[in-house]
Structure 1
Amino acid sequence: MTTDNKTIVLQALTTLVATGDVDALAPLLTDDFRHHRPDSASTAKAEWLAAVRAALVPLAGMRVEIHHVLADGDHVAMYSHRRLPGAGPEIAVVDIWRLDNGLIAEAWELIEPVSQAAANLTWWRTAEH
């Protein structure tokens, strides 16, 4: 099952990046799919697909470099770097996916601009230190 879940996630993301076909993602998601962000915001399937569709134009030509894909049971975690065309900014992304019966049921996404990584390593320091 773990290999199958990794394959499902990789195929979904590869197809999206290669073709920009958001509609091809819809059948890979459960009807009650939820996408979670670090600010505790959560969106349902239709809202998330609409947000992905809206982001495709400004993100056209984005390069995605997948560094690690790990799976444990019904969860798949992926670490990637993404860069806009030319000298565009680069981000590091951790996606966590939960699958249910071969469909993606939940997703969590953490994004960090690579240029801010060093500063984020000292987030606990106050201005007084």
Structure 2
Amino acid sequence: MTTENTSIVQRALAGLIETGDVDTLASFLSDDFIHHRPDSTTATKAEWLAAVRAALGPTAGMQVEILHLLADGDHVVVHSRRRLPDAGPEIVVVDVMRIADGRIAEIWEIIEPVAHAAANMAWWESARG
């Protein structure tokens, strides 16, 4: 199951990352797909796909580099680095995807701007001190 779920995510992301093909990604999402953001808001399949089109479409030009792809049971984790064009901000993203019936049913997304990483670690350093 883990290998099959990893393959589903790889196929869903391949066209998206290489060419901005959102339609192929859409075919891998369940009809009742839910996207969860760090601020506890959610988006439906249609809402999330519209946001992906805006970010990765041919005029947006975001570059995505997959750093790690890990799977455990019905969950697949994607760790990526994303860059906006024209020296825009660089972010690191962790997406936790739940696979059900051969489709991506849910995604939880965690985003951190690379420029904020040191400041975001301050709580850790003070807790150890």
Settle same-fold status: TM greater than 0.5.
yes
Partner of 1:110: 110
Stretch moving more, 39-48 or 53-62? 53-62
Partner of 2:48: 48
Query: What is the one-letter code of the residue matched to 1:43?
Result: A
Distance 1:20 1:34 in 2: 21
Across the aligned residues of Structure 1 and Structure 2, the Cα RMSD in angstroms comes to 2.1
Query: What is the one-letter code of the residue matched to 2:26?
Result: A
Partner of 1:60: 60
Partner of 2:5: 5
Q: Residues 68 and 59 from structure 1, CA distance in 2 versus in 1: closer, same or farther, beyond 3 angstroms?
A: farther
1:36-91: CA deviations, max 9, x gaps? 00111011111111121222348733222222111000000111111123433211
Instruction: Give aligned pairs, total.
Output: 126
Report the alpha carbon displacement of residue 4 of structure 1 after superposing the two structures with TM.
Answer: 1.3
**Correspondences of 1:46-125 after superposition (within 5 Å):** 46-57=46-57, 60-123=60-123
1:66-122: CA deviations, max 9, x gaps? 221110000001111111234332111000000001100000111100010000012
Distance 1:89 1:41 in 2: 23
Query: What is the one-letter code of the residue matched to 2:110?
Result: L
Is the contact made by 1:59 and 1:84 (CA closer than 8 Å) also made in structure 2? no
- Identify, as 1 or 2, the structure richer in helix: 2
Q: Residues 59 and 107 from structure 1, CA distance in 2 versus in 1: closer, same or farther, beyond 3 angstroms?
A: farther
Secondary structure of the structure 1 residue equivalent to 2:110: strand
Identity of aligned residues (%): 66
Please give the TM-score of this superposition, normalised by the length of structure 1. 0.87
Q: Residues 76 and 56 from structure 1, CA distance in 2 versus in 1: closer, same or farther, beyond 3 angstroms?
A: same
Query: What is the one-letter code of the residue matched to 2:24?
Result: A
Secondary structure of the structure 2 residue equivalent to 1:39: coil
Please give the TM-score of this superposition, normalised by the length of structure 2. 0.87
Secondary structure of the structure 2 residue equivalent to 1:25: helix
